[in-house]
């Protein structure tokens, strides 16, 4: 369906007849496959297919099909919302402008919205977000956006990494492919789209997204290797590498999210290049509480977004010991880098809280040719996984 949707570019109308086809898969694939991002092109080329009709058999299931059509369309549109954010270049998408877009989505969908600017972040002690964002003239933000229905069976916190551009800071990245770091806010885009989707589909859950936003740039005000940061909640971290910045902004948001006593915490981020080394560009690494990790990994595979459960080996924890602070932000070696990042995050998870970390460094951004329903650029992974996990929690607790 995704390949067909892409091939229909320039077409006014198409008809899909359903017999053995899965309606939800066909709708999601068609919408995602036909997506193009042309906001910055002077010549737009062929427009996506304008309208697609789905004809179902006259078997008395029209009402069920309509409900599926509505849900599938909403889920696919949420993926496109995330893709639009990811594909917007960093000169236009930076912490304040991302927060503005989040506010507009919140207002349009009747969601709670709060944003902390750099002054509020300093007053409240968000040392990780402030440290990472201090090198840019475009100061950091922390966005909270929430959906709270009248009756909520469970409460789910979402946290997504929002580094709107990552140069690596003082620990500067190589120039080759640094432009791909416009996608370093894919986790933030995903959780923003997911909380809006939760409201549209009226999940019987309270869903709150906490989105730390910063731009990691080198300057005279940048944080340095050797600095010690005091994170939100009081733990201290010695910075050994300023390019391991995502975990620093995430834990500030994770500790803040836990203060609201959620039943589950789902965090997603383009966290480590080690994820790509271990699992490639299309398979996310899933870490966290054992049972919840396995549940999310299975759901991620079922959605087609592909995730693989990964361990958090206890022997790696000692490699994060710091000579100065409570812990360091990286180990002194390159082995198990994705797992060490997960262990770092675990240090800031509240006791007894079911949590999962989804590393989407590779799957969030397609630098190659289009395939299936995935075009070039932002993919929107893991929006459909989060949607399916929320539906599973709503159904099963």
Run of H or E residues at 214: strand 205-216
Of 173, 235, 346, 376, catalytic: 173
**What is the side-by-side strand order in the sheet with 327-328?**
228-230, 236-238, 327-328
Tokens 């919140």 correspond to: 106
In whole angstroms, how far apart are CA 79 and each of 64, 83, 170, 178? 23, 6, 33, 24
**CB of 130 closer than 8 Å to CB of 121:** yes
Cα–Cα distance measured from residue 136 to residue 134, given in angstroms and rounded to the nearest whole number: 6
Contacts for 119 with CB less than 8 Å, ≥ 6 apart: none
Of 83, 138, 161, 247, catalytic: 247
Cα–Cα distance measured from residue 250 to residue 256, given in angstroms and rounded to the nearest whole number: 10
Contacts for 310 with CB less than 8 Å, ≥ 6 apart: 278, 285, 286, 287, 338, 339, 342
- Is residue 202 part of the annotated active site? The answer reads no
Q: Which of 380, 282, 367, 358 is nearest to 85 (CA)?
A: 380
- Is residue 247 part of the annotated active site? The answer reads yes
- The residues annotated with a catalytic role in the active site are 173, 247
């Amino acid at each position: 369906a995704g390949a067909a949707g892409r091939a229909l570019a320039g077409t006014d109308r198409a008809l899909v007849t359903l017999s053995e086809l899965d309606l939800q898969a066909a709708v999601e694939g068609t919408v995602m496959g036909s997506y193009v991002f042309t906001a910055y092109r002077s010549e737009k080329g062929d427009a996506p297919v304008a309208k697609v009709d789905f004809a179902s058999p006259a078997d008395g299931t029209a009402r069920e099909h309509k409900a599926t059509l509505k849900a599938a369309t909403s889920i696919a549109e949420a993926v496109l919302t995330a893709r639009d954010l990811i594909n917007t270049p960093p000169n236009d998408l930076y912490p304040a402008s991302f927060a503005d877009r989040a506010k507009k989505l919140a207002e349009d969908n009747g969601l709670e919205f709060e944003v902390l600017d750099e002054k509020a972040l300093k007053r409240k002690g968000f040392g990780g977000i402030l440290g990472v964002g201090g090198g840019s003239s475009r100061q950091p933000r922390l966005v909270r956006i929430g959906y709270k229905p009248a009756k909520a069976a469970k409460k789910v916190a979402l946290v997504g990494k929002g580094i709107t551009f990552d140069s690596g800071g003082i620990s500067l990245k190589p120039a080759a492919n640094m432009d791909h770091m416009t996608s370093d806010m894919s986790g933030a885009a995903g959780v923003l789209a997911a909380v809006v989707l939760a409201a549209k589909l009226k999940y019987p859950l309270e869903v709150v997204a906490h989105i730390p936003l910063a731009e990691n740039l080198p300057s005279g005000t940048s944080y340095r290797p050797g600095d010690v940061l005091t994170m939100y909640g009081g733990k201290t971290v010695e910075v050994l590498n300023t390019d391991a910045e995502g975990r620093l902004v995430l834990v500030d948001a994770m500790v803040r999210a836990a203060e609201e006593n959620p039943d589950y915490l789902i965090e997603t981020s383009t966290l480590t290049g080690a994820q790509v080394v271990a699992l490639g560009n299309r398979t996310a690494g899933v870490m966290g509480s054992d049972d919840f990790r396995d549940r999310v990994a299975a759901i991620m595979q079922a959605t087609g977004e592909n995730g693989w459960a990964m361990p958090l080996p206890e022997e790696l924890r000692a490699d994060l010991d710091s000579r100065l602070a409570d812990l360091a932000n990286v180990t002194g070696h390159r082995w198990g880098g994705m797992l060490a990042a997960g262990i770092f995050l675990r240090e800031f998870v509240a006791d007894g809280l079911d949590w999962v970390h989804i590393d989407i460094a590779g799957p969030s951004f397609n630098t190659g040719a289009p395939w299936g329903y995935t075009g070039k650029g932002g993919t929107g992974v893991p929006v459909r996984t989060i949607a399916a996990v929320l539906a599973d929690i709503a159904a099963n607790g």
